[in-house]
Amino acid sequence: MKSQYVYFGKKGYHTEAPGTDETSTATTVALQANEGGGMIPTDQGADTANGTHAVHLFVKQVGDGSDGARGSGYGTTDELGATIVSANPKDGEVIRVPDLGFIWSSQTVQVQNVSADAVYGYDFEADTLVWAIDSKRDATTPPHLAIGADICVPMSNYLGADSVAFSASHYDGSALDVVSLKFKAAKGSATDDVVHLICTASKFTEVCQVMEEVANADNYEKAITMFDLDENGVETVYQGFADRGVTIYGVIIEMAAI
C-alpha cells in the first residue's frame, strides 16, 4: 500500500525569564535548556569564537533598565531594527548576545553581568526575557546524529494533531502555540512519537490542512521535507505552511529510544 512520507528535522527553541535579578549582585544569569526545548547543549566555554555556538541567544528588555545595565558592544540597532543606546536597555529592545558573550555549562547558558564583561555583559532583571534558539544542526546541541534529531515517517502512521497553548511569545512579539503531530511509535509499542511544532498562534486548523494536503500528495518517490535546519543554518520549510500564514519557530521531536 502506498503512502506519502514526510520528514521533520529538529530545531530547538527555548524561552523563559531567568527569574533572577542580578542588577545588584555579581552572579551570572542561568537559563536552563532541556529536552522540552529540543536542545541539550554541551558545555561550551567562554571566548568561543563568534559563529561557533550553534544556539543564538536573544534577550528582550522588559521595562526600562538602568543606564549602564548592558554592555557597550551591542551597537546602535536592535534585532527588530529599532535604534538603541547599547549600554542603556529600554523596554522592548531585543539584542542577540554574540557568541563571545555567553557560555554553556551543565545545560545552562550564562551571560556575564556588566561588571564582569563591559562589552557583552547584561544585568538581567527577574522578568528579562531570554530565548535560546538553534541556529544550525550541530553536535553541540544534541540530539544530534541520534534519536530525536529527525524523523521520516509514512503518513499512513499519522495518528492525529493536538493543539497546545504556549505560554510565551517570540521575541518579536508574535504569539505562539504548539501543534503536536502524533505518529505511531518507532518502538512499535502502543504509544506515539510526537513532533511538536512551535508555530504562529491560532493556526491549528491551518496546520491540520497542511497535514491533510501532504497525506494526499501522491509524491511516492520522495519524502516531503516539512521542516529541516541544516549544518549551515539553512531552513527548508514546506511551502504549505507559509501559504497559510504559519511560521515554524521550533521543532521538537519527542520519542523513546528504539
Give residues in contact with other proteins (CB under 8 A).
1-3, 5, 7, 137, 145-147, 149-154, 156-157, 183-190, 193, 220-223, 225, 228, 230-232, 258
In order of 65, 88, 114, 198, the CA distances from 71 in angstroms are 12, 8, 6, 31
Q: How many residues does the chain have?
A: 258
Distances (CA, A) of 121 to 11, 27, 58: 27, 11, 13
**How is the beta sheet containing 55-60 ordered, strand by strand?**
13-16, 129-134, 55-60, 94-97
Query: Which of 157, 152, 177, 155 minimizes the C-alpha distance to 166?
Result: 177
> Three-state DSSP class for 109?
strand
Nearer to other proteins, 73 or 154 (CB): 154
Side chain identity at residue 212, one-letter code: E
Give least dist CB 105 to other proteins, A.
24
User: With respect to other proteins, which residue has the nearer C-beta, 11 or 203?
Assistant: 11
Q: Which is nearer to other proteins, 1 or 49 (CB)?
A: 1
Cell numbers given for 73: 558592544
Return the number of the residue (171 or 183) whose C-beta is nearest other proteins: 183
Q: What is the DSSP letter of 147?
A: T
Contact 57, 96 (CB under 8 A): yes
Q: Which is nearer to other proteins, 97 or 153 (CB)?
A: 153
Nearest-approach distance from CB 191 to other proteins, in angstroms:
10
Nearer to other proteins, 64 or 220 (CB): 220
Query: Is residue 5 within 8 Å of residue 153, measured between CB atoms?
Result: yes
- Least gap, CB of 238 to other proteins (angstroms): 14
Which run of H or of E encompasses 204?
Answer: helix 204-215
Give min distance, CB of 241 to other proteins, in A: 19
